[in-house]
Chain A
Amino acid sequence: MERVPILKLGDVLIVSIQIDLQDQGVLALQEDLADAVVESGARGVIIDISAVEIVDSFIGRMLATIASISRVLDAETIVVGMRPAVAITLVELGLSLGGVRTALNLEKGVALLEDRDNARAVAVPR
């Protein structure tokens, strides 16, 4: 089965989905990411879907589930790079991806995580 590599950059995990994943591959990614968050102590997960041509209800649910799992594990998930046609289709399909933060691209996704870290540092002075 194809597996999606998980890269670590500082305390952020980055995943870029480059292949048309079978459903088992999607589920494997979910589990691999949960393991990787705990193992690395990452505070953020960025999932790049700029190469993904369709997001159906299965993949959409996986993205929402990954976001929930990482939140429970104290990491924030940001989905980046969604194609316009994919966004239009997702909304029409009836998936709003509630609870999943998105950013237009990887750079903006990283900036979002940094902003959050800065806000946290201000909110909890030592």
Chain B
Amino acid sequence: MTDAIELPIAANSDVVLVRQRVRTSAQQVGLSLVDQTKVVTAASELARNTLVYAGGGRVRIEVVGNGARGGLRLTFADEGPGIPDLELALTDGWTTGGGLGLGLSGSRRLVDEFDLDSEPGKGTRVTVVKWAR
């Protein structure tokens, strides 16, 4: 079962659209209200990161399933400057953008699977999955 859509993240209004689209998909997959709220919040953080740190990018929203249960996979990709030190970037409170430094580290806590792939000069890809319980 795969059902995917892709959205651009090029402006602040796109961050709102990503939140709304992720909410709709999370409901479709049957996530509980708390889990919907968690994954939408994570999506908001990651979409804003894509915009602020890379100047924009895109997100792929996929409904996934492993037979037993459904889930939502979000892939945020950009061709921005990349992250030189992944471990540091995942530390609570560490920021280069003047924020609170909770975007990456906080989103990781809100989802079930979190994968960060980045290389300086080549861009960043963050993939998260939230499973229905």
**Chain A residues within 8 Å of B, Cβ to Cβ:** 20-24, 53-58, 60-61, 83-86, 88-89, 92-95
Closest residue of B by beta carbon distance from A24: B12
Query: Complex formed: what's the CA distance from A119 to B100 in Å?
Result: 35
In the complex with contacts A54-B44, A93-B109, A20-B20 CB distance below 8 A: yes
Instruction: Identify whether the interface residues of B are mostly helix, strand, loop, or mixed.
Output: helix
Partner of B41, one of A20, A23, A93: A93
Q: State how many angstroms separate the Cβ of B29 from the closest Cβ of chain A.
A: 16
**How many B residues are at the interface, by size bracket?**
20 to 34
Most B Cβ at <10 Å: residue of A88, A92, A93: A93
CA distance A76 to B98 in the complex (A): 26
Name 8 A/B residue pairs within 8 A (Cβ), A-sorted. A21-B16, A23-B12, A24-B12, A54-B37, A61-B100, A85-B37, A89-B38, A95-B100
Known: A92-B106, A94-B105. 20 other contacts (CB 8 A): A20-B19, A22-B13, A22-B15, A23-B48, A53-B37, A53-B40, A54-B19, A55-B41, A57-B102, A58-B48, A58-B99, A85-B37, A86-B37, A88-B34, A89-B34, A89-B38, A89-B110, A93-B106, A93-B107, A93-B109
